[in-house]
Structure 1
Amino acid sequence: MKFKAFFTLFLAVAILQVQAQQPKADMIKTEKGQLKIQPITHGSLVLQWNGKTIYVDPYGGAELYKGVAKPDLILITDIHGDHLDAKTLDALDTKKAVIVAPQAVADQIPEKYKNQVKVISNGQSINEMGIPIAAIPMYNLPETDDSKHPKGRGNGYILNIGGKNIYISGDTEDIPEMRALENIDVAFVSMNLPYTMDINQAASAVLEFKPKVMYPYHYRGTEGLADVDAFKKMVNEQDKNIDVRLRNWYPMEAKKK
């Protein structure tokens, strides 16, 4: 009994330590309760609303998700290992989750998950668990044969959660489809060279589509972390109404420095 009590205490302390390393969660008021936004790492985040838990591009190992409810819904944007991470999927309790993904992901996901996948392509929509989900393009500019992210392979997503439009860019540059977005309440926009875009492109696009709340995410590139402080300054010098929220998506890397 003493060993069991000790193990339970040890496990609780371990979970608290992992949670302490996670970036602080934010709350967004919707027409039907609060939307909880939990950054995890890089391009991974968790949304919780109305009793449902949504994982976006789960990556980095199950340790990062300790203390987070198991997913009801998983969105995967692309085939690269920081988006389609089979090891992390295997380590999490995903048995009852619906996985929404583009066809390229469905083709490469391990066989045991294929029955859980619902495929949508750019321009298509689906409603899962009362949440409308639209797939929009994500790609590199200029469009070339050797592009890291060709148009049509991956999905960005727009979710309508309690009347709030949530945009998840995926790996993209400042494409016309992003610039043309309207009525976005919360946006997650990538900015890491050479995979997506630099902070100047990202700031220019954000100033054009004007999300109410904007999170820089997916900002680790080959030269380290993008200067998100400079990005915020660029945006808010021209539009103070855009709430640019900087969160530490790389707590373990910051800890090593």
Structure 2
Amino acid sequence: MKITYHGHSVVMMEDKGFKAIIDPFLTGNGLCNVTVEDINELSHIFVTHGHGDHIGDTVALAKKTGALVIANHEIAAYLASKGVENIHAMHLGGRTTFDFGVVKMTNAIHGSGISDDGQMIEGGNPGGFIIEVNHNKIYHAGDTGLTYDMKLLEDEHIDLAFLPIGGNFTMDVNDAVKAVKFIKPKAVVPIHYKTFPIVNADPQEFKKKVKDSVVIVIDFNESIEME
């Protein structure tokens, strides 16, 4: 499986008919070299919460590609009101089997309001996703503070975790290191940093401090391969 990191929290996964993007914040993301116009095919879009730098270009991409959008119930309802037709609503703790594998929605400590025409719309609870594809378990934490709930994820036997390290809005480096100790993934990728000055964390500092898992710092718009 090919995994590409487009900066902030944008992760793309590709594997044998499965082409998905998580939190497609393309427009306005100065770290990302991909635009909506560049993407002609997607099978799935995952949205962790309703903030603009995560729901991002979901509406445009969903309408363009027909991808199935997986999000919490409130975000699903919002997207439907914007004309998105192919939606699967989930909620925290829910686990569902899809044609490509299994998805579980996990807890996150954050907000999820949706900004729409100057109004803040209720976006339900923020979350993360455990996505299992071809025996690979990938955990994307979304935006979250450190929570002891992460200790439960040790039992999920995560192969690759994406954890925010930027601080201010999410865990900082030190809390993300603690999260790794709780989750015990085989490997971890730091995300949600350097997009804006206020989240200017150093992924190399994170890499030096993690002792329990392999840390993979993926350069913006670069890819790695999972077997």
TM-score range relative to shorter protein: 0.7 to 0.9
CA distance in 1 between counterparts of 2:24 and 2:219 reads 17
- Deviations for 1:68-94, whole angstroms, at most 9, x for unmatched residues? 6611011011000011124x6426764
SS in 1 for 2:208: helix
CA distance in 2 between counterparts of 1:191 and 1:121 reads 24
Q: Note the C-alpha offset of 1:228.
A: 1.2
List alignment gaps of at least 5 residues for structure 1: 1-34, 142-149, 252-257
Relative distance call for 1:78 and 1:160 in structure 2 (3 A) is same
List alignment gaps of at least 5 residues for structure 2: 112-121, 223-227
Identical residues among aligned pairs (%): 27
The correspondence of residues 77-92 of structure 1 with structure 2, limited to 5 A, is: 77-86=48-57, 89-90=59-60
Match of 1:116 in 2: 86
CA distance in 2 between counterparts of 1:124 and 1:224 reads 30
- Deviations for 1:75-116, whole angstroms, at most 9, x for unmatched residues? 011000011124x64267644211000123123326344421
Match of 2:160 in 1: 186
Work out whether 1:70 is the aligned partner of 2:41: yes
Relative distance call for 1:100 and 1:138 in structure 2 (3 A) is same
Q: 1:98 aligns with which of 45, 57, 68?
A: 68
Q: Note the C-alpha offset of 1:222.
A: 4.8
Q: Note the C-alpha offset of 1:129.
A: 2.1
Match of 2:23 in 1: 57
> Is the 8 Å Cα contact of residues 166 and 191 (structure 2) preserved in structure 1?
no
Relative distance call for 1:99 and 1:210 in structure 2 (3 A) is same
TM-score by length of 2: 0.79
Q: Note the C-alpha offset of 1:127.
A: 2.0
Match of 1:137 in 2: 107
CA distance in 2 between counterparts of 1:59 and 1:118 reads 20
SS in 1 for 2:108: coil
- Deviations for 1:157-184, whole angstroms, at most 9, x for unmatched residues? 0011111111000011121222321211
Q: 1:244 aligns with which of 215, 221, 224?
A: 215
> Is the 8 Å Cα contact of residues 194 and 222 (structure 1) preserved in structure 2?
no
Q: Quick one: which amino acid aligns to residue 53 of structure 1?
A: K
Relative distance call for 1:91 and 1:132 in structure 2 (3 A) is closer
Match of 1:171 in 2: 143
Q: Note the C-alpha offset of 1:139.
A: 0.8
Relative distance call for 1:112 and 1:37 in structure 2 (3 A) is same
TM-score by length of 1: 0.71
CA distance in 2 between counterparts of 1:54 and 1:131 reads 12
RMSD value over aligned CA atoms? 2.7
Q: Quick one: which amino acid aligns to residue 22 of structure 2?
A: V
Match of 2:116 in 1: none
Work out whether 1:218 is the aligned partner of 2:192: yes
Structure showing greater radius of gyration is 1
> Is the 8 Å Cα contact of residues 108 and 142 (structure 2) preserved in structure 1?
yes
Q: Which structure is richer in relative contact order (CA contacts within 8 A, separation 6 or more)?
A: 2
> Is the 8 Å Cα contact of residues 199 and 231 (structure 1) preserved in structure 2?
yes
